[in-house]
Structure 1
Amino acid sequence: MAAPRPPPARLSGVMVPAPIQDLEALRALTALFKEQRNRNLDTIGVAVDLILLFRELRVEQESLLTAFRCGLQFLGNVASRNEDSQSIVWVHAFPELFLSCLNHPDKKIVAYSSMILFTSLNSERMKELEENLNIAIDVIEAHQKHPESEWPFLIITDHFLKSPELVKAMYAKMSNQERVTLLDLIIAKIVGDEPLTKDDVPVFLSHAELIASTFVDQCKVVLRLTSEQQADDEEALATIRLLDVLCEMTANTDLLGYLQVFPGLLERVIDLLRLIHVAGRDTTNVFSTCGCIKAEGDVSNVAEGFKSHLIRLIGNLCYKNKDNQDKVNELDGIPLILDSCSIDDSNPFLTQWVVYAVRNLTEDNSQNQDLIAKMEEQGLADASLLKKMGFEVEKRGDKLILKSTNDTPPL
């Protein structure tokens, strides 16, 4: 890691900026450094010192603020597509410049400093970020505050998400709001127009380990949301987003197999489904059917879709996996899933996800088929509900057969 640069000089104990004679000259200089022949003329260190000076002065004058921005643009142009210049910028700018500028109230300064960081990063410098996590977290905050800015987004998606070690270290140190932002970007990467590449898959398997282990350890914190006093619990909200990520990861064939055998994941999901099902039935809270909390300003939608996503995840984990199909049966998960099938405004597509889960639970699994058929015969499963889900029970001699109907609703 580069040694910190000494602070800019002070006069009589008061830090003062050098006078700016001509702002247009600075702009012209910035433009000149777009050309390769004009780079690396020992001006990078001076430019960094001036930028740090502007930051410490907390400039508000428009002329000084413009000079601040131009200085950053100058560094960005110097570093663009030139590894030698990037190395010099990194030596002079890291970490002070990024610590000073990524959290600046001026969004252009945030964008320009993000551009410099994006341009300069490589695999070796990523390791330095692991020792300066505040910079990485500042990038997350920058994206959170300025989602329209492309540079923080590109830093996260093109650099951070390619480093499982950095993501793991960041996740442990971030606030829950920052975690939600990071998890949203992981989802965006998984469901994006471009599929994960062969190089992406091992990295995202590491991310899957972090997401699954964190969910297994912490998922019960969502039960805090049953209390109105803790209805905005940020840790619980971050845990809900973990479930969203797991649903998308298990929808990816490259990641599914790893998560299907992840220790404790399926058991914990079934356990949590049971807990929120009982909690929503016994008291009025965010897990109650039809979203019963409607007071102004509350967070009645924070758990929207949570039950649906739990059932979706169970269905994914059981997809063509006999061991998991049987495990759900052993844990009495099938009656629980069937009992969860009801109209619920707070859980869109709940019926469809129940249908999907039941299909994956019964595919090539006669034991699970027999269980549902016997439940219907004993009145423990509503025949009309099964029909609505696209199934019916037929008696053939002494045997009950669960079969699909032709009017199966689309998934």
Structure 2
Amino acid sequence: MADDEMVFPGETLESLLEASKTPEGRWRLASGTLDAILRLPSFPPHTLLQYLRLLRNLCAGEGANQDSFIESGGPDRIAAVLLGPPPAPPEILRAGLQLLGNVALAGEAHRSAVWARFFWSGFLELARVREPGVCDPLCMVLDTCCSSDGGRPRLEELCGVERGLPILLEIILVSITAGHHEEWLEWLLSKVCIEEPYFSLLFSKLGRSNVSCNSSDVGYQYNIFTHEQAFLLGVLSKCLTERPEDIAVSNDFALNILEVLKAASTIVDFTSRGSSALPTGSPAIDVLGYSLAILRDICAWENPISPATEAPIDSLLSACFLELLLSYLRQLELPSTVRKSMVHVKDQIIQPSITDSSKVCPYKGYRRDVVSVIGNCLHRRKQFQDETRLLNGIPLLLQQCVVDEDNPFLREWGLLAVRNLLEGNEENQCAVAQLELQEPVITPEIAGLGLKVEVDKDSGRAKLVNIS
């Protein structure tokens, strides 16, 4: 059958396709067109793709067509096309999955019907095609079926070790091999890992056999990380950075990432200076960097529905997170600007000399990332502003307000961290003012950072001023 041959009286396949691209056209075709197509004894091979695209368009937001698809046995009919035999080409699979995704968007009954027909073996077979063009609409179907009312039990099935989890693992491998991914994968993984408690399970399955995981706790023991694990963290970091208002961050996820960060910090070689930013190609370094990036965004995240509720950052800070971050920063060599300026300062007694035991940044931006997480932790949290002072962290943060050739935007993040440290905290403001008064030990340091402390004439409070 040629594209311009009559499909129904007065209608060609081409004219139907064109009409189905608009809401008005889909509404006009809602009376019987989809049923008639599904009743065809077979789809002519040379027009199969056009028929699938027509069905896909007809089910794009048109409730009558979406209902008819289910009532007319559409899932079984499409399963016969997609799952063969014979094996269908990728463009057929893509159009068919887009059709199923459009149908699943209609409601719980539609999602349930699609899921019942394709989970688990059908979805796994489609994932094993390992084509990027198939992977994205497959993620659309999975994410839609696991959303809204009734979605949580299906998500639990999808994350089941024996049947569902292999589907996710195949999808991730496809995306890594292709070198790119589309948004539906991000939506699916953010639901699985960030909102629901399946990050640790998926992350461990992407690792190697020398990973032990206690599913009832966050006590991981990692000896090595993989490219797949780094990829997963990179995707999750992108989700949180670009769409924080669309994601509900769970406490479990935040604590899991903290454990991953701790493990990565013991594996990464801090004696070798990194020459590139993320991703570096080293799984352990990338895991370290993406963990910091995720934690930075978690510390800035607020529940859009109920801002007053306890945020994941509270769980992190209760786990001595701030003390850990300050220790990471304290173990590093001084920023490059400070190191160079110290060469010209005689009788330096404030700063210890740099020794071979000082750690260096394993990737460009590591110091900045640590400072950025600290800065977000301190925002309007007096308890942790005070803790920073008690841990002697004020001079440490002042050191970060400089340009550093290995850490783009370190100065900006450092200034933000110091601003958050001092905001609304008279004790910290006075502590910085006292540093200014301890001449000649402290003054050269603060002045060398392009900063000075002034006392506000009206309030009498100390404030930090950028003088460069």
Per the TM superposition, whether the score is higher than 0.5 is yes
Alignment-derived partner of residue 272 in structure 2: 226
Q: CA deviation at 1:120?
A: 2.7
2:132 to 92, 107, 119: 107
| 2:63 is the alignment partner of 1:31 | no
Alignment-derived partner of residue 93 in structure 1: 118
* Contact map agreement 1:259 1:317 (CA 8 A) in 2: no
* Contact map agreement 1:114 1:151 (CA 8 A) in 2: yes
Q: CA deviation at 1:239?
A: 1.6
* Contact map agreement 1:171 1:179 (CA 8 A) in 2: yes
CA offset digits 1:224-268 (Å, max 9, x no partner): 56278xx85312321211111222222235537515633121111
- Give the Cα separation in 2 of the matches to 1:45 and 1:29: 14
- Give the Cα separation in 1 of the matches to 2:408 and 2:52: 57
Q: CA deviation at 1:270?
A: 1.2
Alignment-derived partner of residue 265 in structure 1: 321
- Structure 1, unmatched stretches of 5+, are 1-18, 289-301, 395-400
- Give the Cα separation in 2 of the matches to 1:253 and 1:43: 42
Q: CA deviation at 1:188?
A: 4.2
CA offset digits 1:45-100 (Å, max 9, x no partner): 4643553345xx7x5xxx85555555545544654525444323322211222222
3-state SS of the aligned residue for 1:358? Answer: helix
2:204 to 172, 175, 178: 172
Q: Which moved more, 1:184-193 or 1:307-316?
A: 184-193
Alignment-derived partner of residue 153 in structure 2: 124
Match of 2:325, as an amino acid? V
Alignment-derived partner of residue 237 in structure 1: 286
- Give the Cα separation in 2 of the matches to 1:355 and 1:37: 60
- Give the Cα separation in 2 of the matches to 1:115 and 1:373: 58
CA RMSD of aligned residues (A): 4.1
CA offset digits 1:187-246 (Å, max 9, x no partner): 4444446735xxx55x43443232234324543434456278xx8531232121111122
1:344 to 383, 404, 410: 404
- Structure 2, unmatched stretches of 5+, are 1-41, 60-64, 208-225, 275-279, 304-310, 337-353
Identity %: 20
* Contact map agreement 1:160 1:166 (CA 8 A) in 2: yes
Match of 2:368, as an amino acid? S
3-state SS of the aligned residue for 1:170? Answer: helix
CA offset digits 1:338-373 (Å, max 9, x no partner): 344543112123233333333443452436733663
Alignment-derived partner of residue 12 in structure 1: none
2:165 to 111, 129, 133: 133
| 2:195 is the alignment partner of 1:195 | no
- Give the Cα separation in 1 of the matches to 2:432 and 2:466: 22
- Give the Cα separation in 1 of the matches to 2:418 and 2:93: 60
Listed as ranges, the matches of 1:304-319 within 5 Å are 304-319=364-379
* Contact map agreement 2:454 2:462 (CA 8 A) in 1: yes
Alignment-derived partner of residue 306 in structure 2: none
Q: Tell me which protein shows more helix as a share of its residues.
A: 1
* Contact map agreement 2:292 2:369 (CA 8 A) in 1: yes
3-state SS of the aligned residue for 2:245? Answer: coil
Listed as ranges, the matches of 1:266-285 within 5 Å are 266-277=322-333, 282=355
CA offset digits 1:26-55 (Å, max 9, x no partner): 64366358434354444634643553345x
Listed as ranges, the matches of 1:154-169 within 5 Å are 154-157=187-190, 159-160=191-192, 163-169=195-201
Match of 1:156, as an amino acid? L
Match of 2:124, as an amino acid? L
Change (3 A) 1:376 1:44: same
* Contact map agreement 2:206 2:229 (CA 8 A) in 1: yes
Alignment-derived partner of residue 404 in structure 1: 463
- Give the Cα separation in 2 of the matches to 1:156 and 1:40: 31
* Contact map agreement 1:311 1:353 (CA 8 A) in 2: yes
- Give the Cα separation in 1 of the matches to 2:69 and 2:380: 62
Change (3 A) 1:84 1:353: closer
Change (3 A) 1:276 1:134: farther
- Give the Cα separation in 2 of the matches to 1:29 and 1:354: 55
Match of 2:292, as an amino acid? L
Q: CA deviation at 1:136?
A: 2.6
| 2:168 is the alignment partner of 1:151 | no
Change (3 A) 1:68 1:326: closer
- Give the Cα separation in 1 of the matches to 2:408 and 2:89: 52
Match of 1:241, as an amino acid? Y
- Give the Cα separation in 2 of the matches to 1:333 and 1:284: 20
* Contact map agreement 1:114 1:152 (CA 8 A) in 2: yes
- Give the Cα separation in 2 of the matches to 1:358 and 1:343: 15
* Contact map agreement 2:244 2:301 (CA 8 A) in 1: no
| 2:421 is the alignment partner of 1:361 | yes
Total equivalences in the alignment: 361
